[in-house]
Amino acid sequence: MKTTYLNTLPDHWQPVAAVFAAMGDTTRQRILLLFEPGEELSIKDIAAMFDYGRSTIVHHLAVLEKAGVLAMRREGRQALYSVRHDIVLDSLEKLRLFIEEDLHA
């Protein structure tokens, strides 16, 4: 076991904390669950699945993009979002299984 105390998170762990913070919101988790690997979805596609206004969805997408979880590209006037790496979706599923199997056993 390490004998030094970590009063702050080391710099190289800051991006990890940002990803966990972005993915810690249940609305953002539900947004991520809409994606299949390699799939692109428009704001309209995503907003159609929620009872929130477009601006709320755009806010959540921006948080996920800023954290590096989602990528956005423009096609004309339309913004298309995709999960940057399949490991994001795999990690969500593994966390779900961990919670379901180990924490609720």
Across the range 19-42, mean pLDDT stands at 94
Q: What pLDDT, on the 0 to 100 scale, is given for residue 3?
A: 56
Domain count, the chain: 1
pLDDT in tens, 59-81: 999 999 999 999 999 999 999 99
Q: What pLDDT, on the 0 to 100 scale, is given for residue 5?
A: 61
- On whether residue 1 sits in a domain, the answer given is no
pLDDT in tens, 81-103: 999 999 999 998 898 899 888 77
- On whether residue 84 sits in a domain, the answer given is yes
Structural domain containing residue 60: 16-103
* CATH code where residue 35 lies: 1.10.10.10
Taking only Cα atoms into account, the Rg of the chain, rounded to an integer number of angstroms, comes to: 16
